[in-house]
Structure 1
Amino acid sequence: MLLTSDVQDSVKQALANMTESVTVKLFLKPGEESSNTMRELWGELQALTPKLIIEESESVPSGMDASQMEGAVSEVWQNGTFTGVRYLGIPSGYEFGPLIETLVEVSRGDAPELSESVVAWLKKLEKPLHFQVFVTPT
């Protein structure tokens, strides 16, 4: 068991705020330790709410190639649509809270609010834009 009973209680309370089901597509790399850990973590989270659906695959996620996949990859989907949220490896420590918040926000249809100037800038993009967000304590 990865999550202590205290953590399970806190997470269960947070996940109780989910309104719709969320699917996590878990892409596993056979023989990779992080794949085993992620399978266990998602199983424990799924046991805390009926609104979390886990789908496992040993293929490579769309838009990635095998060289980018060093371990498990978790994608968050809503109503059959990829939300653009992808976790590489194990979201632990400071990454765990945002993971739980993401599940709740996606289930509720909460989208981040963007200023009009940002929306206008995004509409002017002519090529795909790739960016990554790293969660760190500093």
Structure 2
Amino acid sequence: MALMQEKDRQAVREAFRGLQHPVELVLFTSADSGEYSEVTQELLQEVVELNPLLRLNVYDLEKDGAYAAELGVDKAPGIVFLSGEERKDNGIRFAGLPSGYEFASLIEAIRLAGGATQPDLQPATLSLLETIKAPMHLQVFVTPTCPYCPRAVVMAYRLALANPYITAEGIEVTEFPELGDRYAVMGVPKTVIDDLVHIEGAVPEGMMVNKLREAIAAAA
């Protein structure tokens, strides 16, 4: 039985009309993640069938551990979005099943990776990003029932796409409760920058820039 309704398929096809180059969805699954991995694979397969520029490759987190380590993936289900024939890694990730409101984050990640939309960041943001020359990891904790979460995830994705040193990962926190405990996630969305700076809520771009500066200063 299909996971997506026909009206949803039509909407997704429309969203993908502007894709400029191929996008490979790399999915890491594991037996431990059980149904989450199975449903994620089924959902992604339905999505890639909606546009000829999309493809899905599935790996096992343990058996293909070397490749997972190369991509910096340590969770299953875990999704990486690679761009173009050269399979460029834009630093865009999602951990967990992208269901509910997070389906929008999945679609926007594909659109960004495929060139259907651009980061469109403010000049002040771009100026700050030019100064970031060391790896930076943004974790955005979300749940499928949070309508504000995709905005926070996509903001992180836009930053990652604009700077090769930034990795942005949406994390469905109910699937990874140990991370929720570690980072004291009491509400979503919550963004954690390099384990140094915590951001509650889906903040405006200007506030995100201030938090990035804070993280840079803390790391220094």
TM-score, length of structure 2 as denominator length: 0.54
Q: 1:131 and 2:134 equivalent? A: no
Q: 2:119 aligns with which of 95, 112, 115?
A: 112
**1:38-92 residue CA offsets vs partner (Å, 9 max, x unmatched):** 1101111111111111111113423244xxx2x3111000131111111101111
Q: Which residue is 2:72 aligned to?
A: 63
Kindly report structure 1 stretches of 4+ aligned residues shifted beyond 6 Å.
none
Return the letter of the residue paired with 2:80.
E
**1:91-120 residue CA offsets vs partner (Å, 9 max, x unmatched):** 111111122122122212644234444344
Q: Which residue is 1:73 aligned to?
A: 78
Partners of 1:125 and 1:46 lie apart in 2 by: 33
Q: Which residue is 1:19 aligned to?
A: 20
Q: More deviation in 123-132 or 80-89?
A: 123-132
Q: Which residue is 1:4 aligned to?
A: 5
Return the letter of the residue paired with 1:7.
D
TM-score, length of structure 1 as denominator length: 0.82
Q: 2:99 aligns with which of 92, 105, 114?
A: 92
Q: 2:49 aligns with which of 47, 50, 56?
A: 47
128 and 104 in structure 1: CA distance in 2 versus 1, 3 angstrom threshold? closer
Return the letter of the residue paired with 2:140.
V
Q: More deviation in 119-128 or 86-95?
A: 119-128
Structure 2, unpaired ranges of 5+: 149-220
Structure 1, unpaired ranges of 5+: none
Partners of 1:64 and 1:83 lie apart in 2 by: 14
CA shift for structure 1 position 5? 1.3
Partners of 1:36 and 1:8 lie apart in 2 by: 20
Return the letter of the residue paired with 1:56.
V
Number of equivalences: 134
Return the letter of the residue paired with 1:74.
I
Return the letter of the residue paired with 1:113.
D
Q: 2:36 aligns with which of 31, 34, 38?
A: 34
Q: Which residue is 1:103 aligned to?
A: 110
Paired residue secondary structure (2:101)? helix
Question: Does the CA-based 8 Å contact 2:112-2:119 persist in structure 1?
Answer: no
Partners of 1:124 and 1:40 lie apart in 2 by: 40
Question: Does the CA-based 8 Å contact 2:19-2:116 persist in structure 1?
Answer: no
Percentage identity across paired residues of the two chains: 28
